[in-house]
Structure 1
Amino acid sequence: MSVRALVVDPSASAAVRLAEVPDPVPGPGQVLVDVSHASLNYGDLNDARSGRIPVGAVLGSDAAGVVARAAADGTGPAVGTRVVALAAGAFAERVAIDVGALAEVPKGLGLARAVALPVAGVAALRSLRAAGLGPGKRVLVTGASGGVGRFAVQLAARAGAHVIASVGSAARGEGLAEAGADEVLIGLAGLRRPVDVVIDSVGGPQLAAVWSLLAPGGSVQSVGWTSGEPAVFPPYATVGPAKSLTSFVIEGDVGTDLALLTELAAKGFLTVEIGWQGSWDRFDEAAEALRGRRVSGKAVLTVTSEGPRTPMPSPQGQG
């Protein structure tokens, strides 16, 4: 048996193509999920070209769909449960996912919006938490029009921070004030007072610039590097009152954080903006739009099947 998936292929225009791959075989603590939606992250595009994901391997991290087979060890959601997950190889019709890597999607939240939450939402939530977010803190979010940025703006505002959103153009800043930004800046123009927290997804020269704006005791969380440019710090820039630049990566189980994010989204406390949506057959188009920074918020792929999928029998003891 096989399923269709988006796999890494350096010869393809976006280094990704649709292909047939073996049906996944779940471990005892994994569920099988029939995927209906996937979310494309900037990191996925880098993974396809950098060699981090081997040629022929399935790409992706964000998936949402319905549980087709419950976990053999009795943990996790039952068959038929709508779930969202952060899992390696997410861009496939059917994926085996650790029960700690997913959360049930609440009623009232569509899967197309839920699937935008795993990488971007968890990165925003955990980086703010690691930086010491609190009421009254001055929080700068760079690349604020992107997936991580928009979630970070909303979560920081909800925590009572003074939020400064940095974007590349006036058009990219649309909707950020409504999302909770107290200030919306083009680049760093007009930013004079020090900030306590920086959530940076741009990197390059802007990373060096925000370091100089960081207050003593402050924290820069480096969650991305969309500029693709080096960051050059002037001499003695790192000599002075203590402050930190911290690399960031999502590690460990994310189920609890995903449950929180989906609950906030279902209740309307966290807005999910989808700037591009279409069939995964149009992956090249989505990738080009994301690389060209023409997507505000998230790019969502609809996983389309060529035919009915084979029903999965429940493991022994699961009914």
Structure 2
Amino acid sequence: MQALLHGPQGLHIADVADPKPRDSQVLIEVAAVSLNFGEIAYASRDARSDHVSGWDAAGIVLQSAADGSGPAAGSRVVTFGWSGAWARLRAVDTENLAVVPESVDLGAASALPVAGVSALQAVRRLGSVLGRRVLVTGASGGVGRYAVRLAALAGAHVIASVSGPGRAEGLRELGATEIVLGPEGLSEPVYGVLDTVGGAQLAEAFYRLEPDGVVQAIGRASRETTTIDFEVAGSRSARGRVENFNVSTPFAADLSYLLRLLETGKLDPQIGWRGPWDRAEQAAQDLLARRIPGKAVLDITASSPAGLA
């Protein structure tokens, strides 16, 4: 089969062996995949030359799981795994997929797994946010946009932090009550922070917590280390905490919930770029350079050439 592989020339399409599903896995024909900042920025340099990367994919079940779990052949599904998404075929555990309603586009569904589920679980870990002030840093990114929407649906007063005015487009429509240019722009302390940036922004957000507030450290888009000066924190009466967030599996129940929100129009996949998979390298570079608001989706098409344009 064909797959997208990392190489000296960037992402390129090449032939690799077909996956062999285990008893608890289905085999799907991939229709669309979505790219995530982390799987590109932190791609392993030690992976085999034929290693198929990718976390998020949606498609059609070709072969149901031998153990009887999961959907039947012909089902439309969205899937998650820590590898194997960027290919025409994917073997995936049934506990990490959900059936996609007929009214939901598979490309839109492919944008859900890592970004959507991460945002959902992070909002949950803040506890009740009804009527509370919640700051989302990196709010224009894939996780950030989902976090703004899901926190707003949970009843929070959402403050979206972006790097510049141009990155704020669409955030008020998602439920942001305020937009600031970094945590320094906050006028009042916040109860919760959903941080996707890390580095100095995470520290600045921590300094602005209410007593007993909490930061969920979700990502590190800045690629900077975080240094917190507790003398500064003490001078600002910050008595909150920072929690290192890691998304938890299985994904099936959370994916089903997000799909219901998509189906009913309460959630939008926030796709800022979509194109054929032979343009994957362009999409990856635009994502790393933060030129894409929200998610980047690649459509897998039979007419794709054996290399990138």
Give the structure-2-normalised TM-score: 0.93
Q: Which residue of 2 aligns with 1:169?
A: 164
Q: Which residue of 2 aligns with 1:314?
A: none
Instruction: For structure 1, list consecutive stretches of 5 or more residues without a partner in the other structure.
Output: 308-319
**Equivalence map 1:181-260=2 (5 Å):** 181-237=176-232, 242-260=239-257
Q: Which residue of 2 aligns with 1:79?
A: 73
Structure 1 residue 5 corresponds to structure 2 residue 14: no
Structure 1 residue 278 corresponds to structure 2 residue 264: no
- Which of 302, 306, 309 is the equivalent residue of 2:299? 302
SS at match of 2:198: coil
Q: Output the CA distance in 2 between the equivalents of 1:34 and 1:257.
A: 22
Q: Output the CA distance in 2 between the equivalents of 1:22 and 1:278.
A: 25
Q: Which residue of 1 aligns with 2:54?
A: 60
Q: In structure 2, give the amino acid aligned to 1:91.
A: W
Q: Which residue of 2 aligns with 1:20?
A: 15
Q: Output the CA distance in 1 between the equivalents of 2:117 and 2:189.
A: 26
Q: Which residue of 1 aligns with 2:262?
A: 265
Deviations 1:78-102 (A, max 9, x none): 1110000111221110000100000
Deviations 1:9-33 (A, max 9, x none): 2x12x3x322211111111111001
Structure 1 residue 42 corresponds to structure 2 residue 37: yes
Contact persistence 1:153–1:165 (CA under 8 A): yes
CA drift of 1:54 comes to 4.5
CA drift of 1:238 comes to 6.0
* Cα 1:135/1:93, change in 2 over 3 Å: same
Q: In structure 2, give the amino acid aligned to 1:228.
A: R
Q: In structure 2, give the amino acid aligned to 1:304.
A: T
Deviations 1:255-312 (A, max 9, x none): 00000001101110011111111111111110111011111110001112359xxxxx
Q: Which residue of 2 aligns with 1:313?
A: none
Greater shift in the superposed pair: 133-142 or 237-246: 237-246
- CA RMSD, Structure 1 to Structure 2 (Å): 1.6
Contact persistence 1:140–1:198 (CA under 8 A): yes
Give the structure-1-normalised TM-score: 0.90
Q: Output the CA distance in 2 between the equivalents of 1:129 and 1:264.
A: 16
Q: Output the CA distance in 2 between the equivalents of 1:65 and 1:155.
A: 25
CA drift of 1:52 comes to 6.7
Q: Which residue of 1 aligns with 2:63?
A: 69
What count of residue pairs does the alignment treat as equivalent? 301
Contact persistence 2:84–2:91 (CA under 8 A): no
SS at match of 1:22: coil
CA drift of 1:47 comes to 3.3
SS at match of 1:36: strand
CA drift of 1:7 comes to 1.9
Structure 1 residue 51 corresponds to structure 2 residue 48: no
